[in-house]
Each structure stands twice: as C-alpha cells, then as structure tokens.
Amino acid sequence: MSQSIADHLNHIQQEAVATLKGPTLIVAGAGSGKTRVLTYKIANLLYQSIPAYQILALTFTNKAAGEMKQRIGSVVGQDKAAQLWMGTFHSIFAKILRFESQHLGYSSRFTIYDTDDAKSLLRSIVKQLGLKKDQYPEGELLNKISSAKNNLITANAYMGIDSYMKRDEAQRKPETFRMYQMYEQKCKQADAMDFDDLLLKTNLLFRDFPEILQKYQERFRFVLVDEYQDTNYAQYLIVKKLSALHKNITVVGDDAQSIYAFRGAKIENILNFKNDYPEHKIFKLEQNYRSTQNIVNAANAIIKNNQKQIEKNLFSTNDLGELVQVKKVNTDTEEGFVVAQNIAEQRMAKQLNYSDFAILYRTNMQSRIMEEALRKKNIPYKIYGGFSFYQRKEIKDLLAYFRVVTNPKDNEAVKRIINYPARGIGKTTIDKLEAVANASQMSIWEVCTRAQELNDINQGTKSKLLGFVSLITSFIEKSEEEDAYQVANYIANNTGILKQLHEENTPEAVSQHENILELLNGIKDYAAILAKEEELEVLTLDRYLENIALMTSQDNEKEEDFDKVTLMTIHSAKGLEYKSVHIVGVEQDLFPSMMAKNHPLDLEEERRLFYVAMTRAEHYLTISYAMNRMKYGQFNNTGPSMFIHELNEEFVNLPEQQSFGKFQKNQSFFNSKPQFNSGSGLSNTSFRRGKLKSVSTASGTDFKASPASELKAGMRVEHERFGQGKILQISQNAGNLVATVFFEGSGQKQLLLKFAKLKRLD
C-alpha cells in the first residue's frame, strides 16, 4: 500500500485496505468513512498491479459509483479507473446480459422496461383476458411479480408454490399466475426485460449455463460490494456465485442501517457472512467522524436494544456537543410551529445556513404540516426525493375535482379528471371534446353537458360523458350546502379515488391513500385556524382553493440557490448528513409504525430506522412528538414512542418535569392499543344549512372562552376537550404566551394561549 493511501486512513482502516485476499467483512458504523475505505481498497488493488478488468465493484446508486471511480482515478490515474467493472447491480448485470443475451433468447439490444412500461403492458393483458381492471390493478400485479422475481420465482414456478396460489385465491385474484406468464411471454416477444429481470435472468444464466458462470468467475478475481446489508436474495446469490472460485470477496456495510426490508433486502446476508465464509476476516470501523459524542452515545443507547446485530461500539472523538433535545407538544400543528421556530432561532444563534437543517419524518403525509409551518415563517425549503405535498399526483387529482366544482370552465382541471378514476372516456374522446370546444368557443364542460348533440361520438360514450356531468353536478350542489371539509370528504369518497387506492393495497397506493386523508385533515385544520383568527363561520371550497393556489405558486428560483431546509422521509436520508436534524412525529403507532406490531423483527427494523435518523446529525439533534395527531378527521391520542423511552437521559434533554424510564410490562409496545379521543378541533361543532352551530359541551352549557388577558398562574380553568384543570405557569415562547396546565383527566399540557380557548372557573 502506498504512503499516499495510508496517510488518509486511521489504523483499522489501513488494515482493512491492506487485506486483499480472502473473504473480508468491513462493518462500517455510521459516519465511519465507509466510502473512503472501499475507494482506497480498490485503489490499493490497482496499485498492486491487479488489472482493472479483474475487479468487480457493485454499488446501489450510479452517483456512488461515479464518485468512487473519480476518487480512485485521482489516486491511480483516470485511465485505470475507467477500466473497472464498477456500477450498480442492475447496470453491471445488464452489461453481462447484453454480452450473453443469445443464450437466453434475447438480442443484445433488448429493451429495459421501466415501471410505467410494465404497468401499461399489464393493463393490456388484463383487457385481453377480459378481466376487470378494479379486480386486477396493475400496480398490485406488478408488486407481486416483482416480489416473485426478487425471490427467483419464475412464472412457471409460481404455479407450484402453494402459498402464492392460496393467497391469490383468498384475494379473489386467481388469474394472477396466468398474467405473470403472459407478462413474461410478451416481454420476451418484445425483446424486453424489466428491472427485476436483470437480476432474475442473470441468476438463470449462471444456473443454466455453467460455462458462462465459470468465465465470469475466472475474470473477476476480486469482488467488492457496497451497502451489503441492503442486498436482496437475488443479488446475494449472484455475488456468492461470482466469488466462489477465488473467494476474494469484500463486503462493506452496517447491519444497524439495514432499513429496506420492504424492498426485499435481507439483513441476514450481512449477519450470516461469517457462516457463508468461515475463513473470513472482519474489520469494525467504529470511529464516527460525523457527529458529536452526545449524538453518537444517544444513538448507541437506542440500537443496543436490538437482538439481531453485529456487536460493535461506535465512538466519537469530536466535541462532546449539546444534549439531544426532546420536544413534547400538544398537537401535530403545534409541532410544525415549534420546529419552524426552532430552526429560525438556531439559524441565528449558531450562524447556520438553511441548508444545514433537515426535517425527517416516518411517512410522506407528515410533510404537509411542516411545509405550512415553514411557509408561515418564510423559511425556504425543498422536498428531497419527492414532490412537495401539493405537487403529488394524488393530491393534484383531488384538487382538480375541487377546481371543477368551483369553476366548471377550468378546461385543464376537467381534462385531468374526466377519466380518473377510469370511467371509459378515452384519449380519443377527450381530443374530440377539446376540438369541439375550441371550434364553438365553449368550455369542455359545456360540451359534455350537450353530449347528446355530438355527432361523431357513439351513444355509449355519450352516456359516460353525461354520467360524468351528473357526478360533478352532484358535487356542485353539495358545495352550495356544506362546508369545505364535508364537500371535500364527499368528493374523495364518491369519485372512487380512495376506494381504488385502498383495494390496490401496494406500498405506493397506501402512501397515496394516506396523503389524501392528510389533505382532508389539512382542510379541517385550516377551517379551525380561520375560525379562530378571522371568526369565519364556514370555510367554503373556493376559499380553501384560493389559499392552496397562493401557497403552491412558487417564484422562479435560480437553480444554484440551494440554501433551503431539506424535508424528507428517513428512508431517503440514508447516506446524508446535516449540521442540525429534526426528527418529527416520534409517537406511538407512527414511529415505530403500527404495522411493526406484527413481528419483533419488524420492530427491530423500525429501531434501525430511528438509529439512521439520529446519526444523520452532526452537531444538533432534536426529536419531537405530539400528544394528539389529526387522523381521519379527528384527534388521535398518541404520546411518546417507545423509542423516546429507550433514550438514555445522560445524553438527552427531556421535556420539563418529565423523565422516562423503561416501558413497564403493561406498557409493552406489542400489547398497547391506540386510544381515540372523540374530541377534536371541530368535533364539538356541526353544520346546519351552511352555518357553524355550537354544540353543548359535557358540562351541558354552551362553551365560552375567557379572554387570554384574564388568565393567570394558579387559576382553575376549563378546556372544551381536556376538561377542568389548573394553570401551573404562563411563559413567553418566541413572542407567544404559553400556558402550562394540569388537567385532571388528561395530565399536563402546554397550550398557546391565543388558540387554547380556556374558560375561567374562579
């Protein structure tokens, strides 16, 4: 190893880089220089005169491969680096398949289908078989086929797996296996493979043509794999086959950061490396160069609760740093306010840029409240790895319905939703409608209302157009009688959008379903805010749309302007780092997810996800949770996640007058049940003939709040939802008066006085 390489590495990194022969496992803790070690190990192989074409390096992203190749080139020369077989699993295997395609009956120029191509093909197959589209949604079909391929189950083998066939029968989708067979046949006929085929076909190639496998085994004397904890079964098997001859395999990864089981990743691949290769050497990179000591120690305290892991002790020699901050708030809306306020204050106090901040959440639907809070504080932000909440397709689809209801002449909105969900009005018909509208200077809506007068459209299509008109007309009539939330809820349910997403039941559809419910929650929140701030009795749909239009219209930004707070899911944050990180919504049944109750191993993955979130922070880490979160139009009592209870108090600053020990047996996560509170911001109100009418509270009288100026510490008060209690103190927080109140039935709460609506009792 050259001195120029050694100078960039600590002692254990040097040992890992210098070990060239045999199976090697490099366990790289968060922030421990994983990429540097892998890069310099490849550079060292080249420095030792190993030909570049004999080195295979597999990554999970093209960006990672490109950056590593560039770094290697700076050490040994770009010419050598260019000859490396380095890239993603899919790109490398596609390259092999193009060389060997004739063995599988494909040409070397085969097409690679993306998700939209695959879904389109599946739709045509469903149609060809005369099956119902709502019974066989293409998204669900593709999800099942993808899962089968990643487990190396071909279309013909699918029929022989009893559990698969019974599952499909139980779901009343018995033709799934036949569609998989037809899908495979049509791909072959079209000389096409999808992304999952690149893994499946490579395995079949090596299985059915041992001479081909031997050729690549002899070529690749050294195999290196990045992020080994994220490999699925198909990837694992290819790597094992390719390295079987020389056994010079190096895998780098961190079992504590294995968070992609939902994509098929198998944590067992890294945990069982020592069993696959008994003669292996292991190197543990335990020094974290990224985070302060307090953050590293707090993260260690969390991950040690997992049973399935490779033992290691991550440490930092950086500054001790500030304690991890834990924030308790009353509602999810208040959480958004607190996070935005904290970012504004921390930016000024610590002299940070907006780009130094990240807000991490468990699910995409949590972004709405954070976005709105940041906008109110004029804090610029960007959504990483996704769209702004209001730019997501499912949200834009529903908003288009709202737009047509409030203004039927809105042609763009009509075109967007006239055949969504599918109602048999195809593109050809839409094109004809638009042509007639342009020729007669009418809106598309007006043309639809006069569908019977159209000459070049058949009677069946005319009936569908009139059905669409009838549906929208019913929504318009509803909007003239009801408030925005009730109308929006009615539209979401009666268009069939929610029903379709619910029945599709893929991870993507579940996320879209949740986002629509979150939009409905947002309408209810906005109505409550206007009722408090403007004493508006009823929020109408057109008023809500005006608010959204102003919120989503963005100024032209320069592409080089990157000084923005980053919002993203924790899954998207893996591999990134920020000076200040806010992890929001760390609550019961949200994080860890309620679905994690199904199995202890699922809970361990959720804990690894929390660990990943914590270790993104360099200097400042804030964790927050709400005691109440809006869901399905009402407040759901939540409370702190079990992960909050697992934090070590030595490294964190807990909410005032609160200390967490371990969960008691009767508080077990697996035995806990969510509790719902029927009271919510608008639950004590009802709408009658378009006007907001008060409903009597539990005390039997109309509730009338006292002016905030009259409230003092020590007073007994009553709250519409929390009941009677006593004000413990009133303090200032960023210019707002905050009351700490102990309620007899609900415990201690912190409420913003201008929103709290407390009634004096003495």
CA 550 and chain centroid, separation:
26
Largest separation between any pair of C-alpha atoms in the chain? 90
**Cβ-based neighbours of 715, under 8 Å, separated by 6 or more:** 726, 727, 760, 761, 762
Query: Do 264 and 230 touch, CB atoms closer than 8 A?
Result: no
- Enter the tokens of residue 317: 């020699």
The catalytically annotated residue of 19, 35, 181, 697 is 35
- Enter the tokens of residue 278: 């008994």
- Enter the tokens of residue 91: 């790109």
Residue 380, preceding peptide bond in cis (omega within 30° of 0): no
Neighbours of 662 (CB within 10 A): 10
d(CA 241, CA 218): 11
715: DSSP letter:
-
Question: How many CA atoms are closer than 13 Å to the CA of 534, on its beta-carbon side?
Answer: 10
168 in active site: no
226 in active site: yes
Query: Do 197 and 187 touch, CB atoms closer than 8 A?
Result: yes
The catalytically annotated residue of 194, 197, 227, 334 is 227
383: DSSP letter:
E
227 in active site: yes
Q: What is the DSSP string of 628-660?
A: EEEETTEEEE--B-HHHHHS-TTSEEPPTT---
Q: What is the DSSP string of 417-431?
A: HTTSS--S--HHHHH
Q: With H, G, I as helix, E, B as strand and everything else as coil, classify residue 38.
A: helix
**Residue 555, CA distances (Å) to 46, 77, 372, 454, 543 in order:** 50, 44, 16, 42, 22
Element of type H or E holding 619: strand 617-631
d(CA 325, CA 61): 33
- Residue 741: phi and psi, rounded to 5, are -125, 135
Task: Find, among 605, 602, 603, the residue nearest to 574 by Cα.
Answer: 605
d(CA 239, CA 225): 8
685 in active site: no
Task: Find, among 304, 274, 346, the residue nearest to 580 by Cα.
Answer: 346
Place of tokens 């005319």: 462
Q: With H, G, I as helix, E, B as strand and everything else as coil, classify residue 101.
A: helix
Helix axes 484-494, 393-406, angle to 10 degrees: 120
- End-to-end CA distance of the chain, in Å? 80
The catalytically annotated residue of 217, 257, 461, 622 is 257
The catalytically annotated residue of 14, 24, 34, 718 is 34
The catalytically annotated residue of 184, 197, 226, 605 is 226
The catalytically annotated residue of 173, 616, 721, 757 is 616
Helix axes 393-406, 497-504, angle to 10 degrees: 160
Helix axes 293-303, 600-614, angle to 10 degrees: 180
Task: Find, among 579, 587, 601, the residue nearest to 640 by Cα.
Answer: 587
175 in active site: no
177: DSSP letter:
H
Residues with catalytic function:
34-35, 226-227, 257, 616
